[in-house]
Chains A and B, each alone.
Chain A
Amino acid sequence: EPEVTQTPSHQVTQMGQEVILRCVPISNHLYFYWYRQILGQKVEFLVSFYNNEISEKSEIFDDQFSVERPDGSNFTLKIRSTKLEDSAMYFCASSVPPGGSVTDTQYFGPGTRLTVL
Chain B
Amino acid sequence: GDSVTQMEGPVTLSEEAFLTINCTYTATGYPSLFWYVQYPGEGLQLLLKATKADDKGSNKGFEATYRKETTSFHLEKGSVQVSDSAVYFCALKAEKLVFGKGTKLTVNP
Q: Contact residues of A with B, CB < 8 Å? A: 6, 33, 35, 41-45, 48, 56, 91, 93, 103, 105-111
Contacts and interface: CB of A to CB of B under 8 A. Distances in A.
Nearest to A113: B41
Interface string B32-66: 10101000001111100101000000000000000
B97 interface: yes
30 contacts: A6-B43, A33-B97, A35-B97, A41-B101, A42-B101, A43-B44, A43-B89, A43-B99, A43-B102, A44-B99, A45-B96, A45-B97, A56-B95, A91-B43, A91-B44, A103-B32, A103-B51, A105-B34, A105-B46, A106-B46, A108-B36, A108-B43, A108-B44, A108-B45, A108-B46, A110-B42, A110-B43, A111-B42, A111-B43, A111-B44
B34 to A, nearest CB: 7
Contact of B46 (A6, A44, A107): A107
- The interface residues of chain A, by DSSP majority, are classed as strand
Q: Which of A45, A106, A107, A111 has the most CB atoms of chain B within a 10 A radius of its CB?
A: A106
The secondary-structure label for the interface of chain B is strand
A40 B32 CA distance: 25
Nearest to B45: A108
B43 A103 contact: no
Nearest to A109: B43
Nearest to B96: A45
